[in-house]
């Protein structure tokens, strides 16, 4: 199964992707995680991305398209994958179409978690509290200023990606304000899996 998860920061993409990974035994390809790993390793790609990410802006399309191009060709992705945080621009969506067509692959569904923007800041603050409680480290871009910029980037650059897939009949919208279990059930329904 090949899925794309769309939704603004704090919509719950990561949580739902984790559940889909467990259920379908396919990897989650999160460009945000890949970029954070590159930053942590001190890789050249990380150096290029770090400041942009901390500000809450999007890194150049070519960077993330290359990351996804490398990953979807790996054997671990042969049975499918969940794209989390990619594509985030129309250029990335078009590039993904090309990458998939080259490999004779297609997407089974694009799931958009639709959320009320006013709730997102509270959700991210809650995520931070939970992370700190568990002894983890809060993301550098999970602060109110970066979050505002990330939401602006989402509205301007990623919201059109929903329309792109809707026009192709691939978009399934799910109420991301429901409980985690209800969202999981709605996603299962959208991809044709019975609970
Ligand atoms: P995320 O973990 O998905 O919220 O991503 C964290 C940050 O990584 C974003 O705010 C961007 O700076 C960068 N990023 C992740 N995925 C992409 C993408 N597909 N296109 C551009 N920038 C991205």
Does some domain include residue 121?
yes
Does some domain include residue 180?
yes
Mean pLDDT of 102-124: 91
Q: Looking at ligand 1, which residue's alpha carbon is closest to its atom 12?
A: 53
Does some domain include residue 88?
yes
**83 Cβ inside 6 Å of ligand 1:** no
Q: Which domain holds residue 152?
A: 2-190
CATH number of the domain within which 173 lies:
3.40.50.300
**53 Cβ inside 6 Å of ligand 1:** yes
Does some domain include residue 195?
no
Task: Say how many C-beta atoms besides its own lie within 10 A of residue 170's C-beta.
Answer: 15
Query: Do residues 174 and 114 make contact, with C-beta atoms less than 8 angstroms apart?
Result: yes
pLDDT, tens digit (0-9, with 9 covering 90-100), for 121-159: 888 888 889 999 999 988 888 888 888 899 999 999 999
Mean pLDDT of 169-178: 96
Does some domain include residue 173?
yes
Does some domain include residue 164?
yes
Task: Say how many C-beta atoms besides its own lie within 10 A of residue 169's C-beta.
Answer: 7
Query: Which pLDDT score is estimated for 10?
Result: 87
- Our count of domains for the chain comes to 1
pLDDT, tens digit (0-9, with 9 covering 90-100), for 36-76: 999 999 999 999 899 999 999 999 999 999 999 999 999 99
Does some domain include residue 181?
yes
Does some domain include residue 20?
yes
pTM for the complete prediction?
0.92
Residue 150 CA, closest ligand 1 atom number: 10
**32 Cβ inside 6 Å of ligand 1:** yes
Q: Distance, CA 32 to ligand 1 centroid (Å)? A: 5
């Amino acid at each position: 199964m090949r899925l794309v998860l769309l939704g603004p920061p704090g919509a719950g993409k990561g949580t739902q992707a984790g559940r889909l990974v467990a259920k379908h035994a396919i990897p989650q390809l999160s460009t945000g995680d890949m970029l954070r790993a590159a930053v942590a390793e001190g890789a050249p790609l990380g150096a290029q991305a770090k400041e942009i990410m901390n500000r809450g802006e999007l890194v150049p399309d070519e960077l993330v398209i290359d990351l996804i191009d490398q990953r979807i060709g790996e054997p671990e992705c042969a049975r499918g994958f969940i794209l989390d945080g990619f594509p985030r621009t129309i250029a990335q969506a078009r590039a993904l179409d090309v990458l998939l067509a080259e490999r004779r692959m297609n997407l089974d569904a694009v799931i958009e978690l639709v959320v009320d923007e006013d709730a997102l800041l509270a959700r991210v603050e809650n995520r931070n509290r939970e992370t700190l409680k568990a002894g983890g480290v809060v993301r550098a871009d999970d602060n109110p200023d970066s979050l505002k910029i990330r939401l602006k980037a989402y509205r301007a650059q990623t919201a059109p990606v929903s329309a792109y897939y809707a026009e192709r009949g691939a978009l399934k919208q799910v109420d991301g304000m429901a409980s985690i279990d209800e969202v999981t059930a709605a996603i299962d329904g959208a991809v044709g899996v019975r609970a």
